[in-house]
Structure 1
């Protein structure tokens, strides 16, 4: 039986790979939640929650910009492991 309505599964490694590829291809050291969301089959709220979890695990770093904005980047260890 098909999993109708079931959300696609995206691993933490796939999410981290997406950040790595975005920063590499855009030649920009940081990404927004929306940029990460655009490359994954997940909703923005889910991506934001996952990024915060990865931040708690020290796999990504973040900085608030403006009233509501946040930018993300890989920790040095994660960046080196993907290079």
Structure 2
């Protein structure tokens, strides 16, 4: 590690990776779990720096962890962080008006798309 790392007013090293960097690195791993050492290698930082970020993410409820050996800890994304699809604001669903049908009557499987995308004539 370079001796020229930047320090803040309190003499502490300035962080070079963000929490989002760590989350993205977890998403990019080939495994459903990651270790701080693996993430440190991916992020070009120390495993301790990665571990500190992981602890913060765990406190925020964004990652989970499990001790799997004497000193081995694996980390993974929580369900709320493990998103595979983003919301498309251009989806016609958002322009559709609410269905004015009987709320107690279940919707048939054949009618779901029509109701979701506003193609039903009332």
Q: Which bracket does the TM-score occupy, shorter chain normalised?
A: 0.7 to 0.9
**3-state DSSP of counterpart to 1:73:** strand
Q: Which runs of 5+ in 2 are unaligned?
A: 7-13, 87-122
Number of residue-to-residue matches in the alignment: 76
Structure 1 position 43 matched with structure 2 position 50:
no
Q: Which runs of 5+ in 1 are unaligned?
A: none
The residue number in structure 1 matching 2:35 is 32
Higher Cα Rg: structure 1 or 2? 2
**3-state DSSP of counterpart to 1:77:** coil
- Counterpart-to-counterpart distance in 2, 1:69 and 1:46: 16
Structure 1 residue 14 displacement after superposition: 1.1
The structure that is strand-richer by fraction is: 1
Q: TM-score, normalised by structure 2?
A: 0.56
Where relative contact order (Cα < 8 A, 6+ residues apart) is larger, the structure is 1
- Counterpart-to-counterpart distance in 2, 1:36 and 1:82: 23
Q: Once superposed, what is the RMSD of the aligned Cα atoms?
A: 1.9
The 1:82–1:54 alpha-carbon spacing in structure 2 relative to 1, beyond 3 Å, is: farther
The residue number in structure 1 matching 2:89 is none
Question: 65, 73, 78: which one pairs with 2:76?
Answer: 73
